A and B are shown apart, each in its own frame.
Chain A
């Protein structure tokens, strides 16, 4: 069973919906201060704009996701939140503080899993955690105690005194995740945390993240896996070309941007190209992918029957519920995993 199937109701976040006018702070005065607040947040590298005036709030205790195709600006946004990359324009506050002036104090309360591993190849597995604890000013004994605990947590205890280099990619990822928890962060920033993990390790991590969330840790993550987003995120935004193009809970996004059901038609080689306009009008929307055609309709069976009625013979027909993948496709014109 998915770990997040019966989440403790944290309640939908009491924040401004994206796209709402930002000049209405009076309404916001009554709701709790968001943990992260971005208004017009912008990041430019030279003349290139990687993040273009995005607005979002993350409430305490929430699991918030960034979805988007490669290059959308997810990592750039995460790095600004993590106070390692200066904000070019707009405003950003984390824990109510300004990253520009209080970067160190904010980072003291953050855990960060960067997209690319930054493990210390000059040290052993355990020493990686120990020195990280020291950077957070933990006493040595405490850092060692937590290191041992975290190595259990990510199932690397047997490798504690090994070098980092020979670890497998997934093991390195798990070590990075353990490292991000050494300071018992209130806010965890996870940039594609499970990329490179095998399915078992992914489920393990989801379970651990879910537990952290229950303890009140706020999670902000990016992912290319829609199941991960659906399982973990209370709310997410879809980014495309440096902008936020949609915002809501996974369910809301599906309701708003996709039909209830989807019918997938797969054809023998060459057939799909010859269909021309014969599928027009069969569904609310028809999406042509390289290897299949998707019919978006409230009643997928009916759409399948209608296609059959027109004499269209698919090699396989699959009717399923809409997923985030469909939303993503609709909004960005690209599939989630490329």
Chain B
């Protein structure tokens, strides 16, 4: 029963997407190409010649960068899908109120929206992974597991951000999320250079953000260098963020909609 309600919300979002996908599809496919070509090959050419092998663990910059970008892109996709669409439905169009007048319940809304975000992430990250493989940036068959890891990384952001969005009445709060959350994490969570290159006091900051864990795990898998202990820690952190976010989102939806 619960699952069925959530699937109806996924169906709703898919219906909306069917009308709007053309706008985003080009960037979804072209984005990975441009990033991997310019940063992986272009910039990477200089990096590799500069004797970086020791720092990067003996692999090309492209192979180092690609899985990190994959996780970072999951974060960005998730952040976008968890902000404006949710606020629109909760505040502007009030379509959640319409859904709640049917057998759909508040939890169905939360699970359904996150379910749809997971679908979107699977699609976007799947394309990224294929492009990555085409660039020869994948070193191990374990890289297929990068797909669920990237989706999980996305959800570790999506769930708490959905909770935040459900407390907002205007979109001005989202600026802060992107400016002080998404963008710095994108730059400093080990995507472009190892976290141990960060100034010493900043390193622990990176450790407690989900992106660092997503990046490191995705990289370990695609390079085929999985160390069970850190990998386990990464997974636990990502799951904890997602689960904590779900709990917050359920409470926020209830407080906002069950008045």
Task: Answer whether residue A82 sits at the interface, using C-beta atoms and an 8 A cutoff.
Answer: yes
Is there contact, CB below 8 Å, between B97 and A118?
A: yes
Is there contact, CB below 8 Å, between B101 and A82?
A: yes
A-B CB contact pairs (8 Å), 23 listed = A107-B102, A114-B98, A118-B94, A118-B97, A118-B98, A119-B95, A120-B93, A120-B95, A121-B93, A122-B19, A122-B20, A122-B88, A123-B15, A130-B15, A131-B15, A132-B98, A132-B102, A134-B8, A135-B102, A135-B103, A135-B104, A136-B102, A137-B4
Task: Answer whether residue B229 sits at the interface, using C-beta atoms and an 8 A cutoff.
Answer: no
Task: Answer whether residue B258 sits at the interface, using C-beta atoms and an 8 A cutoff.
Answer: yes
Using Cβ atoms and an 8 Å threshold, which residues of chain A touch B19? Answer: 122-124
Which listed residue, B4, B16, B99, B258, touches A122 by the CB 8 Å rule?
Answer: B16
Using Cβ atoms and an 8 Å threshold, which residues of chain A touch B8? Answer: 131, 134-135, 137
Pair count A-B, CB < 8 A: 73
Using Cβ atoms and an 8 Å threshold, which residues of chain B touch A246? Answer: none
For the complex, count residues of B whose C-beta is within 8 A of A. Answer: 25
The answer to whether residues A84 and B99 also contact, given A122-B16, A137-B4 and a CB cut-off of 8 A, is no
Chain A residues proximal to chain B, CB less than 8 Å: 45, 82, 84-86, 103-105, 107-108, 110, 112, 114, 116, 118-124, 127, 130-132, 134-137, 179, 183
Of A84, A114, A119, the most chain B CB neighbours within 10 A belong to A84
Task: Answer whether residue B205 sits at the interface, using C-beta atoms and an 8 A cutoff.
Answer: no
Q: In the bound complex, how far is the Cα of B103 from the Cα of A107, in angstroms?
A: 6
Task: Answer whether residue B100 sits at the interface, using C-beta atoms and an 8 A cutoff.
Answer: yes
Of A122, A134, A136, the most chain B CB neighbours within 10 A belong to A122
Is there contact, CB below 8 Å, between A107 and B101?
A: yes
Task: Answer whether residue B11 sits at the interface, using C-beta atoms and an 8 A cutoff.
Answer: yes
Task: Answer whether residue B259 sits at the interface, using C-beta atoms and an 8 A cutoff.
Answer: yes
A250 CB to nearest B CB, Å = 28
Using Cβ atoms and an 8 Å threshold, which residues of chain A touch B4? Answer: 137
A84 CB to nearest B CB, Å = 5
Using Cβ atoms and an 8 Å threshold, which residues of chain A touch B103? Answer: 104-105, 107-108, 135-137
Q: In the bound complex, how far is the Cα of B102 from the Cα of A119, in angstroms?
A: 14
Task: Answer whether residue B12 sits at the interface, using C-beta atoms and an 8 A cutoff.
Answer: yes
The answer to whether residues A85 and B95 also contact, given A131-B12, A131-B15 and a CB cut-off of 8 A, is no
Q: In the bound complex, how far is the Cα of B94 from the Cα of A118, in angstroms?
A: 5
Identify which of residues 244-259 in chain B touch chain A, using a CB-to-CB cut-off of 8 Å.
258-259
The answer to whether residues A118 and B93 also contact, given A123-B19, A131-B15 and a CB cut-off of 8 A, is yes
Using Cβ atoms and an 8 Å threshold, which residues of chain B touch A121? Answer: 92-93, 95
Task: Answer whether residue B105 sits at the interface, using C-beta atoms and an 8 A cutoff.
Answer: yes
A135 CB to nearest B CB, Å = 4
Which listed residue, A84, A105, A116, A183, touches B100 by the CB 8 Å rule?
Answer: A84
Which listed residue, A120, A134, A137, touches B98 by the CB 8 Å rule?
Answer: A120
Q: In the bound complex, how far is the Cα of B102 from the Cα of A304, in angstroms?
A: 55
Is there contact, CB below 8 Å, between A127 and B15?
A: yes
